[in-house]
């Protein structure tokens, strides 16, 4: 009887003890000795030269459907004055839905927070990663992570590429990573907003978008990823027809492209990061996932390509509920 009493007391004590969190403070060692994941490259048609797109009609921001979460996609601070390629450094935690994604001891990508349990990124950032991922939220400077930065390890089995992902054609370049423990949201860590309409056409043509990430700041082979998060604003969405005029029939309804004729856009290390547009309410919505640039280079002036999230919204929602 005495043994049963002791056993019961031990069980009660174990239940009362606080569960140790799987999240841990981030250190700079988490980002050392990692290569940037090379962004996918699509070859421009040989007869096509970079050019300034023709004037584009603009869909009123008010016509874009409202977000599902009131606090999603909200900037933490005012915009920095001022790099992903040709961009500016963000203020710390300015875009709190952007997260860092490390294939452990292998390569680095950017990602974004879907909800407290899931991260959205590119399939080419998940494909081939057998070591699992370290996901970091609340971080700005990877060389000196802030006290807000927290990291969690997700095993390789938690990664999910789209079932029709094709690396050769660069189509369906989208993936999800499930976190083993929920994110605790705050002012510096928030979910992204998804455009929740069925827009897979050109309804967003002419809208100005913002790219974010820790990617390379130039095409130089001697330059690695940026230590601090950078962004570039004012990237206008072009028609898929115009994008196909550069890259051919590989462009599908699952792509969305932006004008980078001034050489400003994304590069290696930005892969998997969000392409956002800001609505009249001030919220940013994710309309794309960074996928590819021209084989001529990030700053070549050819359009940059993203996976159009609205074309995969059902897949995202079905797997992240």
CA atoms within 13 A on the CB side of 196: 10
Domain ranges of the chain: 96-191, 193-310
pTM for this entry:
0.86
Residue-wise pLDDT tens digits, 29-55? 998 878 888 889 998 875 555 555 544
CATH number of 96-191: 2.40.10.10
CATH 2.40.10.10 correct for 193-310: yes
The pLDDT confidence band at residue 280, using thresholds 50, 70 and 90, is confident
* Per-residue pLDDT at 88: 72
Does 279 have pLDDT greater than 50?
yes
* Per-residue pLDDT at 21: 93
**Fold match, 96-191 / 193-310:** yes
Residue-wise pLDDT tens digits, 200-231? 445 789 999 999 999 888 787 766 678 889 98
Beta strand ranges found along 93-195 (DSSP E): 98-103, 107-115, 118-121, 133-137, 150-154, 159-161, 175-178, 193-194
Cβ burial 12-25 (10 Å sphere, 16+ → b, else e) = eeeeeeeeeeebee
* Per-residue pLDDT at 241: 95
Catalytically annotated residues: 124, 173, 271
- Residue 17 backbone phi and psi in degrees, to 5: -65, 135
The pLDDT confidence band at residue 83, using thresholds 50, 70 and 90, is very low
């Amino acid at each position: 009887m005495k043994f049963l009493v002791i056993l019961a007391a031990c069980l009660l004590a174990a239940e009362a003890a606080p569960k140790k969190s799987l999240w841990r403070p981030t250190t700079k060692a988490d980002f050392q000795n990692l290569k940037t994941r090379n962004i996918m490259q699509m070859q421009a048609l040989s007869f096509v030269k970079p050019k300034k797109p023709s004037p584009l009609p603009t869909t009123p921001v008010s016509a874009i459907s409202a977000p599902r979460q009131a606090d999603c996609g909200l900037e933490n601070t005012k915009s920095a004055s001022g790099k992903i390629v040709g961009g500016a450094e963000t203020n710390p935690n300015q875009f709190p839905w952007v997260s860092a994604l490390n294939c452990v001891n292998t390569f680095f990508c950017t990602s974004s927070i879907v909800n407290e349990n899931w991260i959205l990124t590119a399939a080419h950032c998940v494909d081939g990663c057998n070591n699992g991922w370290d996901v970091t939220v609340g971080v700005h400077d990877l060389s000196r992570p802030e006290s807000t930065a927290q990291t969690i390890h997700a095993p390789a089995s938690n990664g999910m590429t789209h079932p029709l992902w094709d690396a050769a054609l660069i189509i369906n370049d989208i993936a999800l990573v499930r976190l083993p423990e929920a994110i605790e949201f705050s002012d510096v860590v928030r979910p992204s907003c998804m455009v929740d309409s069925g827009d897979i056409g050109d309804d967003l043509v002419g809208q100005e978008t913002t790219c974010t990430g820790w990617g390379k700041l130039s095409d130089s082979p001697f330059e690695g990823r940026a230590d601090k998060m950078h962004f570039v604003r004012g990237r206008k969405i072009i028609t898929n027809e115009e994008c196909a005029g550069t890259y051919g029939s590989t462009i599908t309804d699952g792509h969305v492209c932006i004008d980078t004729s001034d050489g400003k856009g994304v590069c290696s290390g930005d892969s998997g990061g969000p392409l956002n547009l800001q609505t009249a309410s001030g919220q940013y919505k994710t309309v794309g996932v960074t996928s590819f640039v021209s084989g001529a280079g990030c700053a070549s002036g050819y359009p940059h390509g993203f996976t159009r999230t609205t074309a995969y919204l059902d897949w995202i929602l079905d797997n992240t509920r």
